[in-house]
Amino acid sequence: MTSRAVLDASVVLKWFAGDERHADLARRVGDAFETGHLTVLAPPLLRTEVLNVAGHSWTWDERPLIDLAEEIDGMGFAYSEPDLADVARWTTRGLTAYDATYVALAEAEAAPLITDDDQIVARASEIAMPLASWS
């Protein structure tokens, strides 16, 4: 049986950096995706956020960053944009518009949002599932 979940950048980034908090748990999510046990839903914003962290925070050079971009594009995630009014509604609850995009998509798809972002979990506890509790 295949389950569905929205993943945010806080989870997907850990697939590429072994020293991040809960990286082992994130890789288990990645394994579930790769073996077909998990369908990953995400807003297109995910791709940009992953590249931003790798390029600016991790200071990756051009070639590895391009390789990452190509890898992300070929992963087979189901990308979809949530309704912008729903993003606005979640933004008024204290989330950034970027984080609200993931929450709004999860809500629209009736799928959990797996995240390692404590603020998202605190503000959208009915939708967001902490990475640490994923099994």
Q: Tens digit of pLDDT for each residue in 28-71?
A: 999 999 999 999 999 999 999 999 999 999 999 999 999 999 99
Domain that holds residue 57: 3-133
| Total number of domains in the chain | 1
Q: What is the CATH number of the domain that holds 22?
A: 3.40.50.1010
What is the C-alpha separation between 114 and 134, in angstroms, rounded? 8
pTM of the model: 0.93
* Rounded-to-integer distance, Cα 52 and Cα 47, Å: 9
Query: What are the pLDDT digits (tens) for 75-84?
Result: 999 999 999 9
The predicted-structure confidence for 117-127, as pLDDT tens digits, reads as follows 999 999 999 99
What is the model's pLDDT at position 15?
93
The Cα–Cα gap between 68 and 49 comes to 12
Q: Are 100 and 90 in contact (CB under 8 A)?
A: yes
